[in-house]
Amino acid sequence: MSKKFKKGEITKMVLATLGIGALLGGTVLITPNFPIIIGTFIKLIEEIKGIKLPKKKVKRALQQLEKRKMLNLEVKDNEVYVEVEDIWNKEIIKYSIQSLLELKQKTKWSGKWFLVMFDVPEIERNKRYYLRNFLKIIGFYQYQQSVYVFPYECEKEVTLIKKIIEGGKYLSYIIAEKIEYENKLKIYFGLPI
């Protein structure tokens, strides 16, 4: 029996996979804006997410993204190629960073905490709300109103957020050896207490 996927779940996986190559400098998995054969692309999603996906559903998700003008599908020599329109699209980046942070959680914890904090001026409060929501979605724990914690090194990802997310310029990155209420965080992230 095949796994049931929530609405939009496969699309999120597709978006994450499209952007990961760009986030990793285009050298580890895929090269940004370089056409990828659909079969190879599906294998790449499976490798990153550890889930076997039905080819039909991935194709459908790709076609929907093409309608949204986020990518192009092109047939060459009986193969369908995927080419990203804008690798720096905020939606692609959001799901890509989320996937990279999920991958980090499969590694051994160093015992350090990585904090992101921000102080957005009141006049730009909409950016504050967006940052809070963005950090929660990609996997950070809200420690205080404008302080978020993650248990794995994520400086590159935070640097990228600073560059592409509105309000990102207000972010600060801190590495902590010890943090109060650590056990609550360990439980949240599934770390040994």
- Domain of 76: which CATH number? 1.10.10.10
Checking if the pLDDT of 60 tops 50, the result is yes
Among candidate residues 94, 120, 147, the one where a domain is terminated = 94
**pLDDT higher for 46 or 129?**
129
User: Which pair of structure tokens corresponds to residue 62?
Assistant: 């790709």
Among candidate residues 63, 94, 125, the one where a domain is terminated = 94
Q: Using CA atoms, how far apart are residues 47 and 11, in angstroms rounded to an integer?
A: 16
Domain shared by 38 and 78, yes or no? yes
Structure confidence at residue 11 (pLDDT): 87
Q: Using CA atoms, how far apart are residues 82 and 61, in angstroms rounded to an integer?
A: 12
Report, as an integer, the average pLDDT of 132-155: 94
Write out the DSSP string of 95-160: HHHHHHHHHHTTSPP-S-EEEEEE---GGGHHHHHHHHHHHHHHT-EEEETTEEEESS--HHHHHH
Domain shared by 127 and 169, yes or no? yes
β 113-118/36-37 pair status: unpaired
Grade residue 81 by pLDDT with cuts at 50, 70 and 90: confident
Q: How does pLDDT run across 13-31, given as a tens digit for each residue?
A: 888 887 776 565 543 344 4
Checking if the pLDDT of 143 tops 90, the result is yes
Checking if the pLDDT of 168 tops 70, the result is yes
Instruction: Give domain status of residue 85, yes or no.
Output: yes
Instruction: Give domain status of residue 100, yes or no.
Output: no
Q: Using CA atoms, how far apart are residues 171 and 131, in angstroms rounded to an integer?
A: 9
Domain shared by 16 and 88, yes or no? yes
Domain shared by 86 and 123, yes or no? no
In angstroms, what CA-CA distances link 185 with 31, 111, 116, 152, 192? Answer: 36, 12, 15, 12, 10
Grade residue 96 by pLDDT with cuts at 50, 70 and 90: confident
Q: What is the pTM of this model?
A: 0.74
**pLDDT higher for 2 or 8?**
8
Structure confidence at residue 2 (pLDDT): 57
- Nearest CA among 153, 144, 192 for reference residue 174: 153
Domain that holds residue 131: 105-189
